[in-house]
Amino acid sequence: MLIRILGAAAGGGYPQWNCHCNGCETVRDGGAIPLTQSSIAVQSEEDGSWFLINASPDVRQQIEAMRAEGCFNLYSGNSHSGNRSLPFAGILLTDAEIDHTTGLILLRESTAPLNIYSTATVKQALTSGYAILSTLQNYCGVKWAPITPGEIIKLTDDLEVEAFALSTKAPKYIQSTEVEVWGIGLTIRDKITNTSLTYAPGMGSIDKDLRQRFENSDCILIDGTFWTNDELPKLGIGARTAEQMGHLALSGDDGSLSQLASITNTRKIFVHINNTNPILIPNSPERQTVENTGIEISYDGLTIKL
């Protein structure tokens, strides 16, 4: 399978339109490369079809970047000029966050219904809370299919996906909730190459099962949102800690860096990186620390072949 990081930044992107943190100003001064918002795509090498995982507000730019690089050349679902359908065989959602779902609205011009996979909880949130799925019904339409943690879904002849529960928080627009699992991670297996990818862009903690899943994967794409737990409060630009937002910070004794350090046979890459995270600044001590730990920092267009 081929995996492409469409957007490496967390919500807001890099730079974020209203932000004057060190990172955002560094990009504006030309000292760092801009990044679009969190999303990846996975391609079956068997039939060339692509799957979009999360639909960011930057999806239009991300699709055009894929087209410019010839990503869709092999995908017959999108070849003739009269075809204005989506160049993805399906869209998988890991949660109902605004920055992972707003791109769906931009895809309304598709001439075929969008094939969307999500948990029932996410469907409900996107139907009654942030009503994107209901809105789309009067445009391209939606064909929804459930994803249930623990169950395996066949995407193509070679690719299958297994969802698993992650410790995450409800989206801010949900006022009260009794639901426990808001976000999921996905393990995608290629049955021909016998390889697997685990994607966990929103991860509040790492338990024994998750650790084992990471060890058993060839590549993991992991939550790289914040460097410190109090990153936003400390900068005076947000009240909530990383923990309160359902993100495990990278640094600190129990941070993801130290927890992931001993996983050695897996390619480890941070995704969903917030613009305040100093690892985005070239040559920063924090970025060097991450690189010394053997974890990669993703960027838009990074392509991984498994």
Binding positions for ligand MLT, rule: CB under 6 A: 10-11, 97-99, 172, 202, 245-247
- Rounded to a whole number of angstroms, the CA Rg of the chain reads 18
The one segment of 91-99, 105-113, 205-213, 272-280 that binds Zn ion by CB under 5 A:
272-280
* Residue 191 CB neighbour total at 10 angstroms: 15
Residue choice 11, 87, 171, 246 for contact with Mn ion (CB under 5 A):
11
Q: Closer to Mn ion at the Cβ: 9 or 155?
A: 9
Spatial distance between the Cα atoms of 288 and 294, rounded to a whole number of angstroms: 10
Q: Closer to Mn ion at the Cβ: 92 or 306?
A: 92
Q: Closer to Mn ion at the Cβ: 97 or 218?
A: 97
Look-up: residue for tokens 């100093």?
Answer: 278
To ligand MLT, the closest distance from the beta carbon of 266 in angstroms equals: 23
Cβ neighbors of 30 (< 8 A, separation 6 or more) are none
Spatial distance between the Cα atoms of 54 and 41, rounded to a whole number of angstroms: 9
**Strand order across the beta sheet in which 152-154 lies:** 152-154, 159-166, 183-190, 195-200, 219-223, 267-271, 296-297
To Mn ion, the closest distance from the beta carbon of 256 in angstroms equals: 16
Q: Closer to ligand MLT at the Cβ: 4 or 272?
A: 272
> What is the enclosing helix (H) or strand (E) of 269?
strand 267-271
Which is it for strands 296-297 and 267-271: parallel, antiparallel or unpaired?
parallel
Q: What is the DSSP letter of 207?
A: -
**Site for Mn ion, residues 82 to 121, rule: CB under 5 A:** 97, 99
Q: Closer to ligand MLT at the Cβ: 53 or 71?
A: 53
98 binds, among Zn ion, ligand MLT, Mn ion, none (CB under 5 to 8 A by kind): ligand MLT
Residue choice 5, 8, 24, 279 for contact with Zn ion (CB under 5 A):
24
Residues forming the site for Zn ion (CB under 5 A): 19, 21, 24, 275
Q: Which residues bind Mn ion (CB under 5 A)?
A: 10-11, 97, 99
